[in-house]
Structure 1
Amino acid sequence: MPTGVHIRDARQQLLDAAERVLLRAGPSGLTSRAVTTEADVAKGVLHRHFADFDDFLAELVRDRIARVAGHTAALRATAGTATVAANLTRALVEVFDPVAVAVVGLVVFRDELRARLRDTAHAPGVPILTEATAAVAGYLGDEREMGRIAADADVDALALALVGGVHLLHAGRRPTPPSAGAVDLVVSAVVADVVQRRLL
């Protein structure tokens, strides 16, 4: 790209390019050269906006975490509507889009990235999975208060089982995610007891 050409929202252009590379080539193929080539910008553009490549990758992870926060509000707004399983299935399908699943793999793949995220006060655990678990636990807590699941339901344990189970459904299935029906089977099995016991 010629020097002096203004790049509109270069940071976002680079982040979008990184997502495409990650989906296509996986964590091992996500290099600074691959990102700048995909974004069609000069190599120095990335380093003008980020301290180094791991700083850039940390921003990519934080961007996905922010999207999970949006899903959290939407999920909690569904409490008391439809069925618990249907609400959870819809939310988990949205949270575990192909990019989010790939970003989780990236975090596991890159030691330096995990260290960088720890240094920036990220919550303990695996980014995206941690936030998704908190969102599901919050939603289940709301449903418990409304009496739609058993009063003694351990919402934290249920959230771990739901997020862990759905993540395992997605792991290794790139580029085709599992169907919503497959996610619903896992969700329904995990919440069946607490939904049925509130009816007794």
Structure 2
Amino acid sequence: MPSGVHLHNVRGQLFAAAERVLLRDGPDALTSRAVTEEANCAKGVLHRHFTDFDAFLAELVLDRVRSIEDRTTTLRAAAGIGSVADNLADALQDLFGPVTVAIVALITFRDGLRTRLREAGLTGIPLAVQGAAIIAEYLTAEQESERLAGDADIDTLAPTLVGAGHLLFADRASAPPQTAAIRKMVTIVIAGALRSPQS
């Protein structure tokens, strides 16, 4: 293995390498050696920046969580524009990209990683929890714009949309679901909450 390769933005390059391994080979193939080989660097590079492999994976998940949380403002700004169903379908497609789906599988695969994430203050299934929070913020904004009924149960709608969305995307061996299938699911879930028909 090369030992003299200099990496700029070491964390970012290691995270990108881990994501490539995860997407290509699945969670059981994700090891520190696989990551450093993919990043074309010495194995010691990873251990100089992280106490152990689960610490590295926890930081990878936290990095993805921050990326998801950064989308809150953009989605909330879509309230009142276009159709609620289309906005939610787009948000779910964005949320459940291949990397997110693979990382959710990784979290369920590794006990040590789940322990580290709990120690970092993350509850439930990270990424899905943050996705539900973003969806809830958007639904609240639609409620304020009066396109969603005032008595709509956002605390139930948001996790229902994320859970159903994850089920549509979860099969890594198949192609992602078609936009029409996602929109159909969203339309059914929110049908009783819309104040008026959405086009």
Per the normalisation by structure 1, the TM-score is: 0.94
For residue 18 of structure 2, give the secondary structure of its aligned residue in structure 1: helix
Cα pair 1:133 1:159 within 8 Å, conserved: yes
Alpha-carbon distance in 1 for matches of 2:34, 2:109 = 17
Residue type matched to 2:16 in 1?
Answer: D
Cα pair 2:5 2:40 within 8 Å, conserved: no
Q: What is the CA-CA distance between 1:2 and the residue it aligns to?
A: 4.5
Q: Are residue 161 (structure 1) and residue 163 (structure 2) matched?
A: no
Residue type matched to 1:131 in 2?
Answer: Q
Alpha-carbon distance in 1 for matches of 2:196, 2:34 = 55
Residue type matched to 2:133 in 1?
Answer: A
Residue ranges of structure 2 left out of the alignment (5+ in a row): none
Cα pair 1:33 1:43 within 8 Å, conserved: yes
1:10-25 alignment runs, 5 A limit: 10-25=10-25
Residue ranges of structure 1 left out of the alignment (5+ in a row): none
Superposed CA RMSD in Å reads 1.4
Cα pair 1:98 1:174 within 8 Å, conserved: no
Q: What is the CA-CA distance between 1:138 and the residue it aligns to?
A: 1.1
Alpha-carbon distance in 1 for matches of 2:16, 2:193 = 40
Residue type matched to 1:30 in 2?
Answer: L
Alpha-carbon distance in 2 for matches of 1:19, 1:121 = 23
Residue type matched to 1:140 in 2?
Answer: L
Cα pair 2:161 2:186 within 8 Å, conserved: yes
Residue type matched to 1:166 in 2?
Answer: G
In the alignment, what sits opposite 2:147?
A: 148
Q: What is the CA-CA distance between 1:174 and the residue it aligns to?
A: 3.8
What is the CA deviation profile of residues 5-31 of structure 1, one whole-angstrom value per residue up to 9, with x for unaligned ones? Answer: 422122111110000000011110101
Equivalences, count: 197
Alpha-carbon distance in 1 for matches of 2:174, 2:42 = 29
Alpha-carbon distance in 1 for matches of 2:170, 2:183 = 16
In the alignment, what sits opposite 1:183?
A: 182
Per the normalisation by structure 2, the TM-score is: 0.94
